[in-house]
Each structure stands twice: as structure tokens, then as C-alpha cells.
Amino acid sequence: MSLEWFDRVSGELQDHLESICAKYDQVGNMTVERGAKYPRIEFFVETEDDERVYFCTLSYDPAHEDFFFESFDPDLGQTSRVVLYDIEDIVDAVHESLHDFINDDELEDEEEDEQQVDYYLDEPDDAQDIFEEIEVEWETPEVTAYLEDDEVEVTYQFGIITETGDGVLRRINRIWTDEEELIKDESNFIFSREEASTIIAMIASNMDKMSSVDFQ
């Protein structure tokens, strides 16, 4: 049994890994474990929280001097091996593993964003509960923008999100029914400082085209 081929590949892979990761704007790392029954090279990227996320494990069979990947088939309940015979195949396999890892990560982010959009559209009450968990420093009291015979009141309040520094505009719409029941609807609009001037300018330049509120 020999580890010569294992050591040669390990020495070359770091340079290839840096090239692969640079393409995807990632910082790739690898660890080498020579003392295991099947020596292995594990590849990972570090998150912003300094946590390791492994995207590939390359194992080595000293008896046959072969590198291989293992995969598990849940339908068959069996583990299979994909043997790699030269450095080009190994580099391509690591490259593909990182590519799949990044694509899966982006897909999860997209699905999470879609779920959040659906969540806010379909479940406004629960979405409001989530918003209330965000720490906001309210810079103004509620300011009445519209009042109609003690039947309808629209107020606004401006605040700053403590964590991000973004602005928040809270709109509260209160309606009193004939049975003197209060119906309250609240919505929040979040925007950055860079967006604020554009929003103000768009509203100001189009106010003359807007109609006044008419509840009759």
C-alpha cells in the first residue's frame, strides 16, 4: 500500500481549489486526513460566522491507489463509489461539487425569499408579528394624515430599524363601523436612505394627478 499518489494529489489540489473558488467568489479550504483507514481530503468554505460548510469529501483507497467519492442511494439503501483515475477527473469532480453546493444554496435562498413574500401576502397578521420582533426606534409620534367625521382615521409614524439603519413608515388605518366597532389595519414600508429621496421626489412630482379621498 502506498500514499505517494495521495500526497501528490493533495499537494496539487490546493492551487486548483483556489482557482475554482475564485471563479465563484468563494474562499475554499481543504483538510487532509492521512491516518484514516481510507485517507481523505475534505473541502469546505467558511461562513461569515466562521463556521465550516463542507461541500466535498474525496477518499483514497491505498490498496488500489484510487481516489473515489461515495454516494448513498436512499432507494436502494446502498452506498456506491465513483472512482477517479487522474488529477483532471479529480479537479473536475471538486469543481462540480462546489458548483452544485452554490446552486443549492442559491436555490434555498430563492425559495426562502418566495416563502417570505407569500407569507407576507397571505398571512398579514402573522407577518405583523414577525415585524414587531424587529427593533425599531420610532422618531415621531403617530401623525394624523386624514380624519373623516370620527369614522375614518389614517395615521403615519416614522422610525429607524436599529440593526440596519433603514427607515420604516408605519401606516395605521382605523375605521369605526355603525356598531361602533373599531377595525384597525396596519402596514409597514421599509426603505433605505438611498431610496428616500427618490420616493419623495416621485410623490411630489405626481401629487397634482392624485384625487382626494372620498368615502361617500
Note whether 29 and 104 are within 8 A (CB). Answer: no
Least confident segment among 74-83, 138-147, 157-166: 74-83
Q: Note the pLDDT tens digit of each residue in 96-126.
A: 887 787 776 555 555 555 554 444 444 445 4
**Grid cell for residue 100:** 452544485
Q: Which of 88, 91, 72 is nearest to 80 (CA)?
A: 72
How large a percentage of the chain has pLDDT more than 70? 75
Note whether 172 and 186 are within 8 A (CB). Answer: yes
Rounded to two decimals, the pTM is: 0.44
Q: Residue 132: is its pLDDT beyond 80?
A: no
